[in-house]
Structures are given as structure tokens and as C-alpha cells.
Amino acid sequence: MSKERNCIVDIMRGMAILMVVLGHTMTGCTQGAEKSFLYNIVWSLQMPLFILISGYVTKYSRDTDSVSSLWNYIKRRTVAYLLPWAVWSFLVRGIINGNHKYLDIKWLLWHMDSGYWFLATIWTISMIFGCARFLAVKASKQDGVKRQVVFFLLYLTGMALLAVIGKIVGISFLAIKLTLYYMPFYYSGYLFGTYSERIFSKDFGKKAVDVAVAVCGVAWIYFLTRYQIFELEDGGISVIIRATASMTGCIAVCGLCSALISSRALDSRISKALVWVGTHSLEIYLAHYIFLDLIKMKKVPVFSSVSGVSLTAANWIIAVFAVSALILLTEKNSFFKLGLYGRKK
């Protein structure tokens, strides 16, 4: 498969990480931000969009069709996700920042959502995905419906086993609850990435995508105006509403934005900046906590006020530029690049 980067995907990933920084800034330096319509938009998109894109870009990866390729896949993903998780959790937050809870491995494993849970979640999903794809390739030599059915059933089996583990040791262990929630997003991204070329090669496929994007856009707006997505409970119909709102939002935003981004637009400064942010999204996710809410007010303003919006905007801009500068300084050093960001090249 082609190893060239898809700039549109990087732009979407850049938008997602900027929303993550914005959401954390809003809640960190103001009060009442969670009840705002803007936060409803941000929260419904940010992490679901990340996971969806992560599944989509598996189309650019080689199949794990042998034991050696599966082992290499496991090693690469473990270094890329768990090494920076350990460094930022224990060294940065635990030792440097003096937060001793992060030095307690037992506490940390059952409270992943207090820190870098995304790394544990994406690692777990990657392990299940890689093993399921390996077994599906072994079960069916031809890449067709049979292989996809086998892969889907194996992926579901992985989810079931994860749920059993959560039932035994606790659903919060290694962010199992969040992992189970986001696994359908990852699979959806993978599925669309697998068949996107076939879909867009036909006029009917293009029209079907346009209809789906329009319907999802209307549905997403409905959910945003009807529900406060962040405040929905973690159970039953609330989870279905939250997941549906996020999925429709991701489909609408991806469809509309990809249609707007032309080849000429990719040459603009804004697009190039978003591409850079997208290619460094994991680094920004890891390091942006250092620079959150550097400007504070004695009396915490309400987000909906002029001072609240101004303070949020100022802190967000400072955080984005500061973390970008840190990445530019550290990524040229191979030791920092591997230890802090899990990247070898």
C-alpha cells in the first residue's frame, strides 16, 4: 500500500488535537464551560474523531500476515504508545511535577482517565485489531467478504474478552471502559478506509456519501441542541445517544471538510500549519498539559462572559504555540524523540 501521507487526514487530525487543547483550556481557566454549546461541539468530536482517524489510517499499513510481521507490529505499537505513557506518567508527572499518585502503579492502572488514558486505549485497540487481522488473513487467503466477516467476529471476540476482564478486575482497569466505548469508532474508520476507493469510484457511491453526510449533519445538530453530551450518564440509552451524536458529528465534519479542502487549499499557510499539527498530534496530546492555563485571574470568570472568552482564547493560543515550540526543540534529539514521543524516525 502507499506510504504517502494523506494531507486531508492530517488536517482533520490537526483539527481534532486543537479541539482537545481548547476543551482542556475552557474547563481549566473558566467556570461553566461544560454547559456551553461550544464545549458540546468540542466534546462530541475531539476523541471520537481521533479514534476514527486512527482506524482509517490502517489502510496505509501492511497486513500482519506472518508471525514475524505480527511481532514487529506489536513491538512498534508498544514502543509508540506505552513507552511515552510510562515516561510522561512516571517521570514527568510523578517525579518532575511531584504528583506522587503517578508513582503508584496500582493506583495508576485503575485510574487511567486521570492522565494519558488515550495511549492505553489506542494500544489495547491496536493489539486486538492486529491479532484479529492476523488470524483473519490466516483463515482466508483471499481478501474478500469471508475475511471481513472473520475479522469482524474476531474483533467482537476481542471486545467480549476485554469486557470479561473488566468484569473480573474492574472496568476502570487500563481504561477498559473507554476502550470498549471507542472500539466501534476505530472499526468504523477501518471499514471506511478499506472500501473508500471503491465507494468513490462510482457515481452512486459519491451520491450515497453526500446523502449520509447531510443526514448525519442534521442528526448531529439535533443531538447537540437536544442533549448536553458531556453530562449524559455512563449507561444504557445515554451511552447510545452519546456514541450516535459523536459518530454522526464525525461523519458530517469529515465529509464537509474533506469536500472543502481542494488541492489549491492544501498549499495555503493555514493548511500547512494544520498538516504539521496533525502529524505531531500525539506529541501535542502528551505535552500540552504543561502549558495549560498559564494566564489566571484572581476571580475565575464565567466562560460565557467577555473576560471568560478572552481568557480562554489567550490561554489556548499560548498553549498551542508553546507546545509547538517544545516539540520543535526536542524532536531533533533522537533520545527525546523516542523517550518522550515514542518515535524512532
SS3 of 292, please? coil
In a domain, 21, yes or no: yes
Which residue is associated with the grid cell 471502559?
A: 177
Phi, psi for 302 (deg, rounded to 5) = -75, 135
C-alpha cell at 189: 474508520
Q: Are 184 and 52 in contact (CB under 8 A)?
A: no
The rounded distance, in Å, linking the Cα atoms of 132 and 202 is 30
Per-residue pLDDT for 123 more than 60?
A: yes
Cα–Cα nearest to 93, from 115, 113, 109, 110: 115
In a domain, 44, yes or no: yes
In a domain, 240, yes or no: no
Confidence category of residue 177, pLDDT binned at 50, 70, 90: very high
Q: Are 51 and 78 in contact (CB under 8 A)?
A: no
Summarised one tens digit per residue, pLDDT across range 224-269 is 999 999 888 888 899 999 999 999 999 999 998 887 776 556 667 8
The rounded distance, in Å, linking the Cα atoms of 209 and 199 is 8
- Which pLDDT value is given to residue 1? 38
Average pLDDT estimate for 145-170: 95
In a domain, 16, yes or no: yes
Summarised one tens digit per residue, pLDDT across range 188-227 is 999 999 998 888 888 898 899 999 999 999 999 999 999 9
SS3 of 30, please? coil
Confidence category of residue 7, pLDDT binned at 50, 70, 90: confident
Per-residue pLDDT for 3 more than 70?
A: no
In a domain, 271, yes or no: yes
Cα–Cα nearest to 171, from 111, 236, 86, 106: 111
In a domain, 320, yes or no: yes
Summarised one tens digit per residue, pLDDT across range 88-110 is 999 999 999 888 899 999 999 99
C-alpha cell at 13: 487530525
In a domain, 126, yes or no: no
Summarised one tens digit per residue, pLDDT across range 300-311 is 999 999 999 999
State the total domains in the chain: 1
Per-residue pLDDT for 345 more than 70?
A: no
In a domain, 246, yes or no: no
- The range of the structural domain enclosing residue 335 comes to 1-54+262-345
